[in-house]
């Protein structure tokens, strides 16, 4: 199960390469990625800046309007909630390890 969480978080973070010119991912994916990154920033406050940088990297090229529209959608909110709910089920130490592994690209 630990491998699934690490792989899932890493996969979400790696999706950032898809968002180069515009917001080219569905709102639900954006919600899941940002939910995971926000969760990780809280679970690992010492690396919070790195998680915020990942969020900016993920949305690079998208306009503020596109991001606001996506974040206001129910799909985004559902994805965000799903991601944070799943990660919060992990023991705190395991969640922190999953987040660190995702930042390291493992």
Q: Do 40 and 51 contact (CB within 8 A), yes or no?
A: yes
Residue 45: predicted pLDDT: 92
- pTM of the predicted protein model: 0.77
**pLDDT reported for residue 101:** 86
Q: What's the number of domains the chain is made of?
A: 1
Low-confidence ranges of the chain (pLDDT < 50): 3-4, 6-7, 16-21
Q: What's the confidence (pLDDT) of residue 19?
A: 41
Q: What is the pLDDT of residue 42?
A: 92
Please tell me the distance from the alpha carbon of residue 82 to that of residue 44, in angstroms, as a whole number.
Answer: 20
DSSP alpha helices (H): ranges in the chain? 2-14, 27-43, 48-58, 64-72, 74-88, 92-104
- Report how far residue 65's alpha carbon sits from residue 23's, in angstroms, rounded to the nearest whole number: 10
pLDDT of residue 104: 83
Structural domain range at position 62: 2-104
């Amino acid at each position: 199960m630990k491998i699934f969480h690490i792989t899932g978080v890493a996969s979400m973070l790696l999706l950032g390469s898809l968002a180069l010119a515009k917001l080219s991912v569905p709102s639900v994916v954006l919600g899941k990625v940002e939910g995971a990154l926000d969760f990780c920033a809280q679970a690992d406050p010492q690396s919070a800046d790195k998680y915020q940088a990942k969020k900016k990297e993920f949305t690079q090229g998208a306009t503020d309007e596109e991001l606001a529209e996506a974040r206001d959608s129910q799909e985004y909110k559902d994805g965000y909630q799903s991601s944070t709910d799943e990660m919060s089920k992990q023991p705190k130490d395991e969640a922190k390890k999953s987040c660190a592994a995702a930042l390291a690209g493992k």
